[in-house]
């Protein structure tokens, strides 16, 4: 069974009388352990697809199954639970809580999963260790560099032991060298068994993945698997 199974997904935005088909009958599936990049220019529908994949939004038509659960028609509470248990998000703008320490930020998903304080702390620390920030536990986001902030965000995505990591332009705010470090981190996470889905418009970044799905005008225009120098 695929982890992600999208079938004939349609998403329509209406502004006044104008109807925009942001996604027009999109189908693909992603298996566990894959490293996939979703590429496209702005307006290609890749962000809309990302929102649907991340269970932040539901399709108007078609069926999206995540980890065996059909997402269509779910209540917002059920979507929140699915997000919490299945998806680790990494955003372009890091999206850390500015007033919380690195560890508190990493613990956040566990709070909503109802994990006890002690276990939360242990798992938070080990997630920060995995991204190489064991010595930055008590720092606040404004005391960290961009790359370090993104590592904290990745640790936050790891801590819930979710099968899927969904990253939206994770290197968009970083310089080239730091981008490479972050992408190496994703690669090693993928090797350790995580399914990683990247949304990006940078071909350099997509190079790291084993499969690239290209979007244009709300449709999938190509879906190619390639050999990475593993």
Partner 1 sequence: MLETLRTALRSLMSNKVRSLLTMLGIIIGTGAVIAMVAIGAGASQSIQQFISGVGANILIIMPGAPSVGGVRQQAGAGATLTTDDAEALQREAYSLSGVAPEVFGRVQLVHGNMNWSTLVTGSTEDLFYIREWKIEDGRFFFDEEARAGTKIVVLGATVAKNLFGEEGAIGKIIRIRNTPMEVVGVLAAKGQTPWGQDQDDTAFVPFATAQRSLFRRGIANSVQRITVAAVNGDSVPEAEREISAILRQRRRLEEGEESDFDVRNMAEMLDAAAQSTRVMSLLLGAVASVSLLVGGIGIMNIMLVSVTERTREIGIRMAIGARGSDIRTQFLMEALLLSVAGGLFGIGLGTSTSKVITGLLGWPTVISPGSVILAFVFSALVGVFFGFYPAWKASLLNPIEALRRE
Contact window for partner 1 (CB under 8 A) among 11-19, 21-29, 84-92, 188-196: 84-92
6, 38, 39, 89: which one binds partner 1 (CB under 8 A) = 89
Q: Cβ closer to partner 1: 56 or 137?
A: 56
Name residues contacting partner 1, limited to 33-72 (CB under 8 A): 51, 54, 56-57
Contact string 172-211 vs partner 1 (x = CB under 8 A): ----------------------------------------
Backbone CA torsion sign across 161, 166, 171, 177: positive
Backbone CA torsion sign across 21, 27, 32, 38: negative
Does 84 bind partner 1 (CB under 8 A)? Our answer is yes
The whole-angstrom separation of Cα 183 and Cα 195 is: 14
Shortest gap between Cβ of 108 and partner 1 (angstroms)? 6
**CA nearest to 5, candidates 67, 73, 48:** 67
The whole-angstrom separation of Cα 221 and Cα 200 is: 15
Q: Cβ closer to partner 1: 37 or 101?
A: 101
The whole-angstrom separation of Cα 37 and Cα 204 is: 11
* Alpha-carbon separation of residue 200 from 44, 69, 103 (angstroms): 11, 26, 28
Question: Given the rule CB under 8 A, which residues bind partner 1?
Answer: 51, 54, 56-57, 76-77, 80-81, 83-85, 89, 91, 95-97, 99-100, 108-109, 111-113, 117, 156, 160
């Amino acid at each position: 069974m695929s982890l992600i199974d999208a079938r004939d997904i349609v998403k329509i935005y209406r502004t006044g009388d104008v109807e925009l088909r942001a996604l027009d009958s999109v189908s693909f599936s992603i298996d566990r352990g894959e490293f996939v990049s979703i590429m496209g220019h702005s307006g290609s529908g890749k962000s809309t697809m990302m929102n649907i994949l991340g269970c932040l939004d539901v399709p108007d038509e078609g069926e999206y199954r995540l980890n065996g659960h059909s997402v269509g028609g779910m209540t917002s509470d059920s979507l929140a639970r699915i997000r919490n248990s299945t998806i680790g998000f990494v955003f372009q703008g890091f999206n850390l809580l500015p007033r919380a320490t690195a560890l508190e930020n990493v613990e956040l998903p566990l709070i909503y999963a109802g994990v006890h304080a002690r276990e939360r702390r242990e798992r938070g620390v080990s997630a920060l260790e995995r991204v190489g920030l064991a010595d930055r536990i008590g720092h606040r986001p404004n005391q960290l560099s961009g790359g370090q902030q993104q590592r904290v965000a990745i640790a936050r995505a790891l801590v819930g032991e979710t099968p899927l990591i969904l990253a939206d332009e994770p290197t968009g705010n970083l310089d080239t060298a730091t981008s490479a470090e972050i992408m190496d981190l994703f690669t090693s996470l993928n090797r350790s068994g995580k399914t990683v889905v990247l949304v990006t418009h940078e071909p350099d970044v997509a190079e790291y993945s084993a499969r690239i799905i290209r979007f244009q005008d709300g449709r999938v225009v190509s879906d190619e698997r390639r050999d990475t120098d593993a």
